[in-house]
């Protein structure tokens, strides 16, 4: 199975950005862990701060399932929501922090309704749990 992990804005800063919220592990380091645990899967990774680039990547159709952390786009990107709606593959939305314990604007996801499941508040382990749910 090819799993695309797609991260939105500022998630390239994992490991250094607000470690009290997002932890101190970089995505690059965590990918090594994921790839060793799920060695029978091909894990593809893409991150962008640009909404259109994330949509373009989703439309490449070279994966079997997607794990998406839209970052700030979670709360207002109807374009990403529409793109997810038209993907007929398993989709899991992941949030490192518990978005329901954060500021009010972070508690609404416009993208979640177009995914099969949402994991929020499990830290980086949310990515692993998402992949497990896709097996």
Supply the residues annotated as catalytic: 22, 95
Residues whose CB falls within 8 Å of the CB of residue 126, separated by 6 or more in sequence, listed in order: 69, 94, 95, 96, 119, 120
Query: Has 106 been labeled as part of a binding site?
Result: yes
Query: Has 82 been labeled as part of a binding site?
Result: yes
CA angle (61 as vertex; 56, 62 as ends), nearest 5: 115
Query: Has 75 been labeled as part of a binding site?
Result: yes
Query: Has 16 been labeled as part of a binding site?
Result: no
**Cβ–Cβ under 8 Å, residues 18 and 38:** no
Query: Is 20 exposed, middle or buried, given 0-12, 13-18 or 19+ CB atoms closer than 10 A?
Result: exposed
Residues whose CB falls within 8 Å of the CB of residue 101, separated by 6 or more in sequence, listed in order: 121
Known binding residues for substrate: 69, 75, 82, 96-97, 106
Known binding residues: 69, 75, 82, 96-97, 106
């Amino acid at each position: 199975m090819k799993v695309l992990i797609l991260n939105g804005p500022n998630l390239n800063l994992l490991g250094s950005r607000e470690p009290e919220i997002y932890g101190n592990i970089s995505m690059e380091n965590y990918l090594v862990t994921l790839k060793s645990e799920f060695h029978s899967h091909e894990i593809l990774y893409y991150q962008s701060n640009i909404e259109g680039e994330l949509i373009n990547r989703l439309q490449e159709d070279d994966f079997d399932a997607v794990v998406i952390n839209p970052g700030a786009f979670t709360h207002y990107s109807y374009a990403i929501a529409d793109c997810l709606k038209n993907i007929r593959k398993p989709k899991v939305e992941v949030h490192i922090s518990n978005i329901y314990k954060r500021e009010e604007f972070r508690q609404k996801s416009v993208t979640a309704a177009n995914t099969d499941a949402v994991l929020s508040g499990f830290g980086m382990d949310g990515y692993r749990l998402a992949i497990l749910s896709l097996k």
